[in-house]
Structure 1
């Protein structure tokens, strides 16, 4: 089943193996993912292809400064024929929702996604509407064009299970992309030949939730998140001063959920310490917040995260 999804995804996408794995982990773990990259690196294609491989409903929302919360969640419209209001659900009511350039929408609009992402529901005119299952938000942001953007609040960043940095393709991969364009593989109207259903995704999520996690692994996770909040005794005062805020308990939960999904993808019924280590940047890069001084000196969060992991004994 997992091979079916991977093969169908790879038939349309060139390279981007890290992105493929991150999207599958988010899907199986039932979390949301934030993608960051310069334009043109197939983030939208990746999201739509994943939705196509599981025959899920896919909606894309282009975020702009004038986007309203109701443009996402939906609204009540007066029907003159009946003399009453009827509810029109917004595009967030889909299995896969791509929020393109999420940091271009205002803080008010971004906050409209909090209920949807956390509670899997929206409230329109005092009436609660539950979102379909599975529900996955794939948000993108562009790090190089900051004019007219609104930085995501920490509360919303924390609700993303993972944050992936999408890199440029290699020359060989870019050559292959040109070939697939000529062959029509990347035609938007061309769907994948094999896929799984939403019931299969529910089953994968259920299996992942029962993957065994040893108490020693759980203690490893808790120790890591603790060090992000109390770094000085472990990585030294010099490096600790670069950390503004450490990770919340959501980081520990994210490690647990994502590690189970990764173990399932690797064909294992148990989580290994290597799973936690391989997920460290995905889980912590948007949760370990650095100071302005760190940014000015060119210190990246991944460097600090690596030092934190080096300071915690591996079980």
Structure 2
């Protein structure tokens, strides 16, 4: 073993020098004098040379002793600082949390969640990134992610937050010269705008349900994009119909800019979830954020059936 592998030996050596004698250091460390002498001998044995010159009246450092003492004190100071920082982190939430979210969910619901968390914990700072490629963000070192859609991977832990309900919508202008669909099969004749991303499913297939009835449609989207805002703008312009989260188009439906198609039918809900690395130790602030997000989303989203 190396000379700096045992902090107890280094602490014993530094205390002996600071105290001026082995007996004084033993009292300070609450050890017996023979025990402290053995620790000094063990450190000198690892060093391969004497660290202290001792006679009946005084002790002094050798040249190697001076060097080892300086390094030992620097190392012990660093350890003390790290331990103090860890204790502070566990008592008072502070520091930076790196969070990511799927794009549109992050710009709305997640942004409000984070604002509420910071207001409750003013010493915390949050960096929010947007990506529909969650595993990439985990690999980049993010602490946690809040996602719409499914994600199953052994590298992350996933906790459900609730369901994001979705509905079929179209612009009112699209139906000036078209008849609204009366049944799911009628939707196949309309141009579609769809969302890409593995966690959102295949954009060329859409499953709708009404009670126990289920219909799966084969689609040929005219526009496929990663962003829900892009889909919403295209639908507003009358490009086609789409399935979007209810909260995302609520204002459009109230204003009449969009209409909900087949009100008795819904697309399969997306699972909202918070994820974090499986193999990484979470700090107190990240643990607190995960718990806060879970409770916050319970008031915003429909709970998943147990």
Q: Shared fold by TM > 0.5? A: no
Q: TM-score, normalised on structure 1? A: 0.20
More strand by share: 2
- Structure (1 or 2) with the larger CA radius of gyration: 2
